[in-house]
Structure 1
Amino acid sequence: MNRRSNRRSFIKNAGLVAAAAGGSATLAAPAIAQSAPELKWRLTSGFPKSLDTIYGGAERFAKQVSEMTDGKFQIQVFASGEIVPTPGVVDAVQNATVEMAHTIVYYYFGKDPTFAFGGAVPFGLNARGQNAWAYYGGGNQLMNEFFAKFKMIGFPCGNTGAQMGGWWRKEIKSVEDMKGVKFRVGGFAGAVLSKLGVVPQNIPGGDIYPALEKGTIDAAEWVGPYDDQKLGFDKVAKFYYYPGWWEGGAQVHLLVNDEKWASLPKAYQAIVQNAAAHVNVDMQAQYDALNPKALRELVGRGVQLRAFSPQILEACFEAANQTYAEMSAKNENFKKVYESMKAFRNEENLWFQVADGTYDSFMFAQQRAGKLNP
């Protein structure tokens, strides 16, 4: 048999084998399709749409998921209040009213103070420490053990960095000046500040400006210069304090209903986790890039930038430790997570003061001396 006959015979036989197999060569396509189903989920945000930073994190997350699944996994993002108000987010995810949410979980301190550790706690970890504890110090595992009680699983999905200490109508020079002040501040920080005579007010972000403008409250905290400028707080209060010791690194979470999560193909689960990790880094970078310019502009418009005095910070620190002890005595979940965070915080502070702290202090001194722009 010559070469041409061999080739014709091979092609003919190959065709017969494919036909006899019932088109088995085409079976791969349905298998792949089954492993990558078309899904349409809803995500409710805990933030107003006007904030391209923290609300925008949810949209960036949804875009990442869509792109990594060739558009097969679509997540529609809703701003706070469009389908679920911020206080109802945990209930909505728990009951599968929505499949997922993007929020800071310390908002749900009233349900259980343990929620706060997934966001930020007074004199807790900074943003880098929060990430280190979450990913490598057991923080994620502990929080997901806790979230499971609410039929949820969670993943870090953003961080604002250290926040500001809020907008105050009057200058605060001492602890005495804080007494009786109606301060928009939530959850854990409110519990601490109430020991110093502050009257905490839990008000959603979208309602802060009118409350300050009308004098319903005397002071309010939100995030930092870029977001605060967008919300116009400098128009109704002129004293801008720092640092927000109750939020040294406020972590944002992606919360997913646990049954819906279990129903996802493993590939989709990996994509969701990677998209959340991307936003976790991206949001912090965005805030760090935008806040300096916004702070300069606010000060240029007459905002009075003030640091909380050492006396005030010491008093707040003592009040925070009292609050931790009281809550630990009442709540085993809280105590378990607090002990983990506290031990990790001590180790992180040892390291940061050796490396980053020393470096940063030197560079700040050079800036004050005018040596960074030779």
Structure 2
Amino acid sequence: MTTKLTRRGFAKATLATGTGIGLATPALAQGGTELRMLMCWPKNFPGLGTSAERFAERVNIASNGALRINVFGAGEIVAPFEVLDAVAAGAGDMSHDTSYYWFGKDPAFVYFATVPFGLTADEHFTWLKFGGGQELWDKLGAEHGVKPLAVLNTGAQMGGWFKDEIKSADDLQGLRVRYPGLGGQMLAELGATPTNIPGGELYTALDSGTIDGLEWIAPWNDLAFGFHRAAKHYYYPGFHEMGHSISTYINAEVWSGLSEQEKTILQTAADAEYGTSLAEYNARNLAALNTLVDEHGVQLHQWPDDIIAKMQEIAPGIIKASAASSPLATEIHASWVGFRNEQKRWGEIGEYFNARLKQG
């Protein structure tokens, strides 16, 4: 859980550290508006960081330079898990993060990142656009002083890295693992001890033995972080993250102060980057996986059947219990489940994989 900061409190904190970051008013320079984006990951990191830069460039071009985004990496202004508070308090104008980092503020946030055995990237976008998801997200954002937009999706993720082979659920007993969100709660039911660690600190934690295993994203990002140097056992599928949506939360006062044209530019750029980033992840993950296995000796494993079965059994109860812990989470859960069930029916009929099973 991150600490809730008032605007005045965050102003004192930033002034005390000498950052000199202004509050709730985007910078005006050379006749344009500059928005400060605070990320939860390193600047220019493949996928997450580069997508943020590409989004910023889209906005700059579409506005003819009148609306510019200055991207700050994790730790440049605030620590990764302080990003949402910083934006809400006005010490930044917008974020680049994953919503399940804010689970401690309200469990409803997880529905806008990823839920175990949940929606694919396409289904999540459809829920936001045509299933009432964005309206509910806006309601959640308003309670925290921000306007949310979906700006990236990694697609299906991997199950994670472990120093020792996991042959059954018994092997998870006592393991210290980096697994955030509801996926971490599920592993805890099987005896593991989940923890949340910022992305930039993951390799050191795994290499030093602070944790025994972790999940991050997928082969493209995992190769870049070098996890194969600290662990050799790599698991799939990522049942906890079937399509992980990344968010930008814009300070509510900043958003309301933008023109309709500027809001449309930001929304359109976000929509475009969501699709582009998903395509890029799908394109790069297999090549990276081949490099990990063929060049670095990584052992690729499918999760043991008993673990998948237990996870499928555990997931509904954990998700329902989480949803019941806040009124808004309960409301969002009902929408999300109803939409998922409808999409499941359509997927069984229209999913193209079913049509090409016998193709060479």
| TM-score of the pair, normalised by structure 2 | 0.89
Q: Which amino acid aligns with 2:210?
A: T
Report deviation, 1:121.
1.0
Correspondence 1:272 to 2:266: yes
Q: Which amino acid aligns with 1:290?
A: R
Match of residue 147 from structure 1: 141
Report deviation, 1:308.
1.1
Q: Which runs of 5+ in 1 are unaligned?
A: 1-35
Aligned residues: 330
Report deviation, 1:310.
2.8
Is the 1:113–1:188 contact (alpha carbons within 8 Å) kept by the matching residues of 2?
Answer: no
Residue correspondence of structure 1 range 129-278 to structure 2 within 5 A: 129-278=123-272
Match of residue 330 from structure 2: 335
Is the 1:147–1:153 contact (alpha carbons within 8 Å) kept by the matching residues of 2?
Answer: yes
Give the match's secondary structure for 2:280: helix
Match of residue 322 from structure 1: 317
Match of residue 69 from structure 2: 75
Is the 2:46–2:224 contact (alpha carbons within 8 Å) kept by the matching residues of 1?
Answer: no
Q: Which amino acid aligns with 1:315?
A: K
Match of residue 300 from structure 2: 305
**CA RMSD of the aligned region, Å?**
1.5
Report deviation, 1:362.
5.7
Report deviation, 1:364.
5.5
Is the 1:169–1:238 contact (alpha carbons within 8 Å) kept by the matching residues of 2?
Answer: yes
Cα distance per residue 1:231-266 (max 9 Å; x no partner): 000111111101111111000111101111010111
Match of residue 118 from structure 2: 124
Report deviation, 1:132.
0.8
Q: Which runs of 5+ in 2 are unaligned?
A: 1-29
Match of residue 355 from structure 1: 350
Report deviation, 1:176.
1.2
Cα distance per residue 1:122-154 (max 9 Å; x no partner): 111011111111111011111110111001011
Report deviation, 1:319.
1.7
Cα distance per residue 1:320-354 (max 9 Å; x no partner): 21112222332211111111111111111111122
Give the match's secondary structure for 2:324: helix
Report deviation, 1:360.
1.7
Report deviation, 1:365.
5.5
- Structure 2 CA distance for partners of 1:365 and 1:194, relative to 1, 3 Å: farther
- Structure 2 CA distance for partners of 1:220 and 1:340, relative to 1, 3 Å: same
- In the aligned structure 2, how far is the partner of 1:361 from the partner of 1:324? 29
Match of residue 102 from structure 1: 96
- Structure 2 CA distance for partners of 1:62 and 1:50, relative to 1, 3 Å: closer
Give the match's secondary structure for 1:244: coil
Is the 2:175–2:192 contact (alpha carbons within 8 Å) kept by the matching residues of 1?
Answer: yes
- In the aligned structure 2, how far is the partner of 1:229 from the partner of 1:364? 30
Q: Which amino acid aligns with 2:180?
A: G
Deviation larger for 308-317 or 156-165: 308-317
Q: Which amino acid aligns with 2:188?
A: S
Is the 1:109–1:188 contact (alpha carbons within 8 Å) kept by the matching residues of 2?
Answer: no
Q: Which amino acid aligns with 1:360?
A: F
Is the 1:44–1:98 contact (alpha carbons within 8 Å) kept by the matching residues of 2?
Answer: yes
Look at both structures and tell me which one has the larger radius of gyration over its CA atoms. 1
- In the aligned structure 2, how far is the partner of 1:364 from the partner of 1:210? 42
Structure number with the higher helix fraction is 1
- In the aligned structure 2, how far is the partner of 1:225 from the partner of 1:93? 31
- In the aligned structure 1, how far is the partner of 2:333 from the partner of 2:308? 21
- In the aligned structure 2, how far is the partner of 1:115 from the partner of 1:37? 36
Correspondence 1:286 to 2:276: no
Is the 1:62–1:74 contact (alpha carbons within 8 Å) kept by the matching residues of 2?
Answer: yes
Q: Which amino acid aligns with 1:122?
A: P
- In the aligned structure 1, how far is the partner of 2:257 from the partner of 2:279? 33
Report deviation, 1:47.
1.4
Is the 1:240–1:305 contact (alpha carbons within 8 Å) kept by the matching residues of 2?
Answer: yes
- In the aligned structure 1, how far is the partner of 2:199 from the partner of 2:267? 28
Cα distance per residue 1:63-102 (max 9 Å; x no partner): 1111111111121000111112210011011111111111
Report deviation, 1:37.
5.4
